[in-house]
Amino acid sequence: MTQQLSLAGTTVDPPVVLAPMAGITNLPFRKLCREQGAGIYVCEMITTVALTERNPKTMRLIEFDPEEQTRSLQLYGVDPAGMRKAVQMVADENLADHIDLNFGCPVPKVTRRGGGSALPWKRRLFREIVTAAVGAAGSIPVTVKMRKGIDDDHLTYLEAGKIAQDAGVAWVALHGRTAAERYSGTADWDAIASLKEHLDLPVLGNGDIWEADDALRMVEQTGCDGVVVGRGCLGRPWLFGDLEAAFNGREQRIMPSLGEVAKVMYRHAELLVEWIAGAESYEARRNIAAEEHGCREFRKHVAWYLKGFPVGGDMRRALSMVSHLSELEDLLGKLEADAPFPESTIGKPRGRTNSPGKVTLPEGWLDDRDDLTVPEGAEIDSSGG
């Protein structure tokens, strides 16, 4: 399937974007995914306040590998002035090549402040924020990622998409769920199709892309110009190799053996340790603190990598408690290397799934859609979600 998507005049081939995920899409994970296939890989969500105040953690999160040709940064903000200041900083200091605006996060600590997927309901405030970002960005392309709305009674995606288009964004990405749906049920791809019909700019689809075939089906069914992949790549960075092959018309499905998965797992942990140590080339035993920190960061990925494989509970627990690369290497070496990839997991959800729930909003948030008031305490001073 030939699908053309461009960003600032550069073709995005394949038309695939890695969705920002808190605690996941750091530099090591993006590097690991890039080693598997092409696309645009977005860093963890960065808050405007933390950026402009140069919070040390945030400045670490916006570091990019020299090989990242499109340095993609997602910004979260609720105040137009704060957004303008942050984007101006990105432009003036050449911190990124692409800015994505977060209007899709459904997490209560975000929506209760009027941010993320709650914000497009305030259409004038939404317009002010997007317009401020585009105006300050100069030649840097700005895109928007959003959900359908707060809930089925408060849908915003068609109106918000038109506002973003009029403000001059490069594309709009839509997760086919409301904030109330969280990550439950099935994504509404019909909403993506409706948004594509409603707008004249590129529309990207997000939601329930577990395999490369799902991405092709989404494009065929909705007419969208590209896809945004989140939970589907957890413990499976080689999905981007499948996606690249699929969009270029090659029949390919990467189904690694457990031994091959073990090599990717070690590579992931090694990259985390290197990054935390702050050096591109790093020998683990030179800095035990960094090694332990990197291995702790890796632990959350173990269950995703081993999903469906014949690995006993004791071994899974041991791997999820590793503190040193040598320990990880030893444990991985005890796995049944020839065990085939579990086909039972193909096409199945990965990562978090939860039940629908009432969206936590600021008091009176739904009363006046044209109110420009920024909720008190709306800005978040730490990044990463």
Verify whether residue 105 is a known catalytic residue: yes
Give the 3-state secondary structure of residue 160. Answer: helix
Instruction: Spell out the long-range contacts of 193-197 with Cβ–Cβ below 8 A and sequence spacing 24 or more.
Output: 193/221, 193/222, 193/223, 193/224, 194/158, 195/157, 195/158, 195/161, 196/222, 196/223, 196/224, 196/225, 197/223
Contacts of 103 (CB under 8 A, 6+ apart): 116, 117, 119, 120, 126, 144, 145, 146, 147, 160
Check the annotation: does 21 bind a ligand. yes
Is residue 273 within 8 A of residue 291, CB to CB? The reply is yes
Check the annotation: does 145 bind a ligand. yes
Catalytic residue among 33, 43, 105, 224: 105
Distance from C-alpha of 94 to C-alpha of 224, rounded to nearest angstrom = 30
Element (H, E) at 153: none
Check the annotation: does 20 bind a ligand. yes
Distance from C-alpha of 230 to C-alpha of 17, rounded to nearest angstrom = 9
Check the annotation: does 231 bind a ligand. yes
Show the tokens assigned to 20: 């920002």
Distance from C-alpha of 299 to C-alpha of 245, rounded to nearest angstrom = 30
Binding-site residue set:
20-22, 74, 145, 175, 230-231
Active-site positions read 105
Binding-site residue set for FMN:
20-22, 74, 145, 175, 230-231
